[in-house]
Each structure stands twice: as C-alpha cells, then as structure tokens.
C-alpha cells in the first residue's frame, strides 16, 4: 500500500511536469526519468515514436538511457541491434503492453494517431504493483505527447506565418519602391511634356510667324507680277524657316527618345529557329512587294536565354532594313549558327553596302547613311540604335560588315547560348 501511494504521488507530480514540455525529445527523456523514479530501480530505457500509417521500420528514437543511450536520434530500425529492433517492431504490431522478467514493453497510441513504444530493462523483475503503476503512468502520456505535437505544429505555423508576413512586407516594400520610381518617372515625363509644350508655344512660334509672313509677301509679289528674283528670295526665307523648324523637331524627338529609352528585359529560353521563321513570315509581304527572296538557314537545336519580344524587335529591324535597302528582285539570307557558347544570327542583303563613314556611325541615333531605300521607303535613323541597345542589354554583340558601296552588307547578332528546358 505504501508503495502504491508513493507511486501515485509520483504519477500526479510527474503529470504537471510532463505536460509542460514543449520538445518531443525533452518529453521522451522526462518519461524515462519518471519511470525510473516510479519503479525506484536502476533501469535502461528507449522511447520510440512512429507517425500514424508509417511502416513498422520507419520510426524515430527520441530518447535512450543506460545501455540504450547510444541509439538516441536513430531514424530507422536498421540503426538498432537486431534483437532490440525485433522487440520494437513486435510492439508496434501487437499494440499492447508486455511484461517479462527483466524487460518491459509499453505501447500507447496518442489522440493524434502517433504510436509510442517504451522499452525498459530493469535490474529486477517488476512486481504486480510496479506493473499497475507503470500502466497508469503510461495511460496519462497520450495527452502529454499530443500537447507537444500541437505545440510544435502551432510553433511551425507561427514561424510560417511570420515568414509569410516578412515576405509580404518585403514584397510591399519593393512594390512601394517600384511605385515611387514610377511616380518619379511620371513626374519627369510630365515635366518633359510641359517643357515640350512650352517650346512649341514659344520657340516654334517665331519660325511659323516668319513662314506665314513670307507667304503673304510671296502672294502679293505673285499678284503684282514681281520678278523671279524677288519671288526666289521669299522662297529662300521660307525654306530657311522650315529648316529651323525641322531642326527643332529633330532635337525634341532626340530628347524624347533619350528620356523614354528605358528598356527592361524578361529572360526566358527561346528557340531561335522558331523565332527567325516567325519574323521572316511577318516580313514576307514586304519582300514580295519588291519581288525579293528571303532564304533561311536555322538549325532547330539552337537557343538562347533572352526577352523574346525585344530580340524579335531587333531581328525585325535588321530584316526590314535588308528589305528596304535591297534592290527589286534581290536576295536576302538569314543564317543561324552556334559554337556551343554563342548563338549567332546573320542577315545578309544585296543592297548598296556601307561606306567606311557609314560603318563608323552606324549604330548612333538619327544617323542618315549614304544608302537610300530602293522603293522610296521612309527611315527615321533609329532602328540600328535600338537594335544595339537591345542586344547590349542581353550581354550580346551586334556587328556590321560590308566590302563597300555596291557590295551589300551583313549584320550579325551574337547572343549567349542556352539550353531549352
């Protein structure tokens, strides 16, 4: 009776201690310690946990004492001695307590579906009182293990929530920075717009006034039958005023392009052959109008990592230039090759070619070259500068080659190679 009372007091005192543990390993160590105190005997023990539905050999050794201490932290049955492994796996299969002379096996299942096996090896056989106390003690462990599991799940959920809050906060800060940058760009664009309007209202007013005045004078001269010399003089003044207007407009366009030439790229693996065929197909009507032939050589296995829209724009600029400057009935070649490290796109035309002076200023903005479009097409002088800007942002290179006027030209885009995913 005294032993029973003492054991029950230990169980009651142990309950509050075990329920306070927040670590599964600490709880397991506490269970082994309390069992040894409850039995008042030196004993070695091992505590094994298995999740619901797991195979019998898939478990974790949470704690070990005495001769079993070396197994703490084992995660499979293969880490245990064969005899010990057999006893643990048998306990999981039988799902019941077992008492032998010097060895005791305790089995319990928690409310959350976990299974726990405690294997004890005592110096003496357990009495009936010892066994009863151990069974009472083990019956109270289910709540303690579930408490730890719930605490760990709550802690993990809180950690994940904190991580998500941190990520969302970081994303919001980045979004705010982007919005601030966009706001600054909008302010700059709005200021630039106001500057243009002011220039149009003030600077362009004078040349327009000159043109209007000179045309009125020219009308009077014609009406009075004035000499050709007088009329020519007025026409010259009108021409000079128009040139000044053109120069002002060119400067305004140049400034606008400099302000708005911020290009961003989004890289992805791109099948270069498919892209080439797409661009060629889009330009076929222009070539057919001039009875031109576009020959394509593009092996299918070549690819690059790029912004497909930007590189399409660059290739389209070069191909449309080749069509524009090639003669009626000419031939244009589009060739794609690779050397492992790079993918190379070459566009060759039979146009007027490039002079040494052309090659020196080829990729500048608003550059007028010596060659002229062969069917009266217009040219802004921006296409090649845009091509260079796009290719540079991809870490590539664009070059031009020509043997001189009348010999055609070849434009080449070189981009880093990449594997298609």
Secondary structure string (H, E, C) spanning 18-58 = HHCCCCHHHHHHHHHHHHHHHHCCCEEEEEEEECCCCCCCE
| Structure confidence at residue 202 (pLDDT) | 46
* Structure confidence at residue 20 (pLDDT): 65
Please state, in angstroms and rounded to a whole number, the distance separating the CA atoms of residues 96 and 253.
88
Mean pLDDT by 10 residues, the chain (421 residues): 57 60 69 70 68 61 71 64 76 77 76 77 74 73 77 87 92 90 86 64 59 78 81 79 70 57 74 91 82 92 88 88 90 92 93 82 66 68 78 92 88 88 62
pLDDT for 209 equals 58
Domain map (residue ranges) of the chain:
2-148, 170-260, 268-416
The tally of CA atoms less than 13 A away on the side-chain side of residue 420 is 10
How far is residue 335's CA from residue 353's CA, in Å, rounded to a whole number? 19
Fold of 170-260: Helix Hairpins (1.10.287)
Return the CATH fold of 268-416. Answer: Heat Shock Protein 90 (3.30.565)
Spatial separation of the C-alpha atoms in residues 289 and 396, rounded to whole Å: 33
CATH code that applies to domain 2-148: 3.30.450.40
Alpha helices in 269-419 (DSSP H): 272-289, 308-325, 356-360, 383-393
Q: For residue 231, what pLDDT is reported?
A: 82
Strand order of the β-sheet with 98-99 is 60-65, 43-50, 115-122, 103-109, 98-99
Residue 346: predicted pLDDT: 96
Helix 228-260 with 205-223: angle, nearest 10 deg: 160
CA end-to-end distance (rounded Å), the chain: 76
Query: Which pLDDT does position 290 carry in this prediction?
Result: 87
Distance CA 215, CA 212 (A): 5
Alpha carbon of 170 to those of 20, 39, 173, 174, 264: distances in Å?
A: 36, 56, 5, 6, 22
- Ramachandran angles phi, psi of 144, nearest 5°: -65, -45
How far apart (Å, rounded) are the C-alpha atoms in residues 414 and 346? 9
Q: What per-residue confidence (pLDDT) applies to 295?
A: 95
Pair of tokens at residue 243 = 């040139």
């Amino acid at each position: 009776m005294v032993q029973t009372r003492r054991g029950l007091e230990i169980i009651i005192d142990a309950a509050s201690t075990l329920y306070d543990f927040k670590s599964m390993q600490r709880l397991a160590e506490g269970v082994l310690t309390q069992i040894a105190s409850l039995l008042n005997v030196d004993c070695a023990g091992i505590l094994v946990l298995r999740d619901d539905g797991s195979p019998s050999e898939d478990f974790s050794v949470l704690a070990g004492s005495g001769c079993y201490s070396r197994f703490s932290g084992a995660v499979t049955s293969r880490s245990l001695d064969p005899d010990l492994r057999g006893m643990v796996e048998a306990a999981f299969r039988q799902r019941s307590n077992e008492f032998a002379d010097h060895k005791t096996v305790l089995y319990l299942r928690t409310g959350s579906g976990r299974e726990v096996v405690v294997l004890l090896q005592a110096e003496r056989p357990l009495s009936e009182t010892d066994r009863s106390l151990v069974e009472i003690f083990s019956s109270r462990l289910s709540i303690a293990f579930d408490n730890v599991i719930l605490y760990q799940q709550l802690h993990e959920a809180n950690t994940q929530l904190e991580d998500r809050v941190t990520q969302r906060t970081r994303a919001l800060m980045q979004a705010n920075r982007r919005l601030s940058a966009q706001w600054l760009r909008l302010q700059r664009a709005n200021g630039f717009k106001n500057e243009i309007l002011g220039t149009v209202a003030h600077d362009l007013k004078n040349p327009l006034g000159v043109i209007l005045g000179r045309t009125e004078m020219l009308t009077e001269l014609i009406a009075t039958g004035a000499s050709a010399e007088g009329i020519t003089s007025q026409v010259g003044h009108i021409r000079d005023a128009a040139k000044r207007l053109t120069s002002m407009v060119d400067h305004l366009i140049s400034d606008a392009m400099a302000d708005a030439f911020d290009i961003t790229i989004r890289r992805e693996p791109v099948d270069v052959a498919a892209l080439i065929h797409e661009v060629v197909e889009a330009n076929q009507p222009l070539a057919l109008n001039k009875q031109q032939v576009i020959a394509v050589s593009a092996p299918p296995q070549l690819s690059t990592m790029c912004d497909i829209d930007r590189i399409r724009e660059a290739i389209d600029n070069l191909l449309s230039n080749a069509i524009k400057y090639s003669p009626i009935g000419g031939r244009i070649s589009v060739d794609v090759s690779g050397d492992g490290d790079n993918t190379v796109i070459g566009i060759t035309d039979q146009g007027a070619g490039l002079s040494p002076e052309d090659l020196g200023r080829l990729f500048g903005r608003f550059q007028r070259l010596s060659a002229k479009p062969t069917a009266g097409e217009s040219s802004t002088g921006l296409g090649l500068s845009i091509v260079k800007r796009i290719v540079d942002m991809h870490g590539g290179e664009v070059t031009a080659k020509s043997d001189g006027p009348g010999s055609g030209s070849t434009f080449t885009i070189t981009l880093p190679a990449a594997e298609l995913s």
